[in-house]
Amino acid sequence: MKTKIVWLTIYAVIASLSFAAGAGFFGEHATRTNVDWVFITVSLLTALVFPPLALFYARSRTSQPFLRPSFMRGFNGGWWSDPLQCLRVSILVLGCLVLGALLSLQHASAQGIMVPDSR
């Protein structure tokens, strides 16, 4: 029972730190950035294609069914032996980063993002 609470606490700390990092609490965001849409597109496509291919490869390496992901336990081996748990933690971190970044974009508009500030 204690290990379940410990892992739940660890995941809550990871989520809160990811949210804070996305919101920019650990440093200032650059105000004059060049959004590289090619990099964003390649990153998005990689993020969409990698998990299904990795799960297929992990499934082909073992004959045992995967453990169900849970916030009440840690990792049972590495990526190839417990891929669903790794994906759940990755989704948690990225989701909290996005939510934190959305919090810091409250005054942004499409034109403000694409046109450099003249200050």
Which residues, other chains included, contact 60 with Cβ-Cβ below 8 Å and sequence gap of 6+?
A: none
> How far apart (Å, rounded) are the C-alpha atoms in residues 105 and 96?
14
Tens of pLDDT along 60-85?
Answer: 877 778 888 888 888 887 777 788 88
The single-letter DSSP state of residue 28 is P
Query: Looking at per-residue confidence, does 98 or 26 come out higher?
Result: 98
Angle at 19 between CA 92 and CA 115, to 5 degrees: 115
Tens of pLDDT along 4-48?
Answer: 888 889 889 988 888 888 777 766 655 555 567 777 778 888 888
pLDDT at 52 over 80: yes
pLDDT at 114 over 70: no
> How far apart (Å, rounded) are the C-alpha atoms in residues 97 and 37?
19
Residue 31 has what pLDDT?
54
Whole-prediction pTM: 0.61
pLDDT at 111 over 60: no
Cα–Cα distances in angstroms (integers) from residue 47 to residues 20, 28, 40, 100, in the given order? 22, 26, 10, 19
